[in-house]
Amino acid sequence: MKLTVIVPVYNNRKYLKQCIQSISNQVYKDMEIILVDDGSTDGSGEICDEYEKADSRIRVIHQNNMGCMEARWHGLKSSKGEYIGFVDSDDWIAHDMYQDLMSVAEDKKCDIVSMGYTAVFGQTKTEIDDNTLYGSYERGVNLDIFLSNMMHDAAKGQRGAQPSLCTKIMKRKLLLGAFERADRKITMGEDAAIFYPCCLDINRIYIIKKYQYFYRIHEESMCRNMNINTICEIQSFYQYMQKRFFKYQSQYHLQKQLKNYVWLLLEQGLQQIFHIRFKRTFLFPYTIIEKGSDIILYGAGEVGQSYYHQIVDNHYCNIAAWVDKNTCDGRKIIHPARIVSLDYIKILIAVKNREMADEIMDELTSLGIHRERMLWVRPQEIPIV
């Protein structure tokens, strides 16, 4: 058997049937499905049992409530597939997701194949490019580039490879080793604690630019309720990862990557617990934008937010639209494809580096937008005392 898909289940009766059906209806058939009922009390366990009776590929494990990490571990120990995939029980997947992942794995002889995901908020679906690294990375060829940027791509100021186990297939032997060594009490950064150490043992990883995993954003998942214990949880994650990376010393800049990764987690925690927000401010490029003109602002990251708030405050120009294909948080930010129907003078691209700006310009050009209407200058950070 080539593939095992493991689904931890805990009190997700409302969404569970759609999740299971999306897996059982896969084009790829050489697979088993393990549903791990983690002590559900809402009837989810009974739903799992019904599907087990109806589909010989489905097996159900019932356990006391022990958390997602333990549920995945129990499913992994019982698995028979050469490759392992995970799906959260409130999400679902496109019918050809595992066909696409397995085709690449078998053709390229990969240890890991990964993709992006689609965030679903109500009726809105947004493809999320949460990677800066795409394509094939092979030991002895270019894997060092991947390992040196996987947790934090310094050139682009974000993660190189998002760590979610749900958007991937991974060799079972890799995962067994990672889970055996992992502190399964980790509750913050648990996917990262498995994925990034696994990458250090691979021969090849391939990241494809597809978005066939559907991550559902609802009231229970929109925002983790952080409290003062969250800081301790982040510390536990940091200490564990330090130990896992210790033998590599300064190789691949792992300790530096880890510190940047953890800083992002701490920022989120401090913001939610104490309402402290750490922001860098970038000066809006007034010299290249005509006062009172209509512009489209492309980018909702640090630079884009900084530009946006300055213009909202001083009304220097009119923002006809705020655009970012990776944002799905309820703000009025639209997908770039909608630009073609809007009236505007210029598109101001609000990103930090030239490489990313060039990528955006190429994408806009493919939509039929003339390059002379696009503007980018290197952002000028305003010192904050």
DSSP states along 89-129: TT-EE-TTHHHHHHHHHHHHT-SEEE--EEEEETTEEEEE-
Let me know how long the chain is.
385
Query: How many contiguous H segments (helices) and E segments (strands) does the chain have?
Result: 11, 19
The domain locations on the chain are: 3-223, 281-382
Q: What is the pLDDT of residue 385?
A: 37
Residue 222: pLDDT band with limits 50, 70, 90: very low
* DSSP letter for each residue of 269-302: HHHHHH------EEE--GGGS-TT-EEEEE--SH
Residue 380: CB atoms within 10 A of its CB come to 10
Give me the chain's average pLDDT, please: 90
Q: Which residue has the tokens 């922001």?
A: 279
The two structure tokens encoding residue 316:
């220097």
Cα angle at 218 between 76 and 326, to 5 degrees? 85
Residue 223: pLDDT band with limits 50, 70, 90: very low
Residue 274: pLDDT band with limits 50, 70, 90: low
Q: What is the pLDDT of residue 221?
A: 55
| Three-class SS state of 183 | coil
Q: What is the pLDDT of residue 285?
A: 92
Lowest mean pLDDT among 73-87, 119-133, 218-232, 300-314: 218-232
Fold annotation for 3-223? Spore Coat Polysaccharide Biosynthesis Protein SpsA; Chain A (3.90.550)
The two structure tokens encoding residue 350:
């609000």
CA distance 315 to 319: 9
Beta-carbon contacts of residue 218 (< 8 Å; ≥ 6 apart): 90
| 204 vs 313: which has the higher pLDDT | 204
80 backbone dihedrals φ, ψ, rounded to 5°: -120, -10
Q: In which element (H, E) is residue 58 found?
A: strand 58-63
**Whether 159 contacts 131, CB under 8 Å:** yes
Beta-carbon contacts of residue 31 (< 8 Å; ≥ 6 apart): 1, 2, 3, 4, 5, 57, 81, 98
CA distance 330 to 333: 8
Q: What are the residue ranges of helices labelled H in the chain?
A: 13-24, 44-54, 68-78, 97-108, 143-147, 172-181, 190-199, 228-245, 254-274, 302-314, 354-366
User: Could you report the per-residue pLDDT of 5-45, keeping only the tens digit for each?
Assistant: 999 999 999 999 999 999 999 999 999 999 999 999 999 99
The two structure tokens encoding residue 215:
């991550």
Residue 250: CB atoms within 10 A of its CB come to 8
Task: Report which of 247, 244, 159 is spatially closest to residue 197, judged by C-alpha positions.
Answer: 244
Q: What is the pLDDT of residue 313?
A: 85
Fold annotation for 281-382? Rossmann fold (3.40.50)
The answer on pLDDT for 156 being more than 80 is no
- The residue type of 230 is T
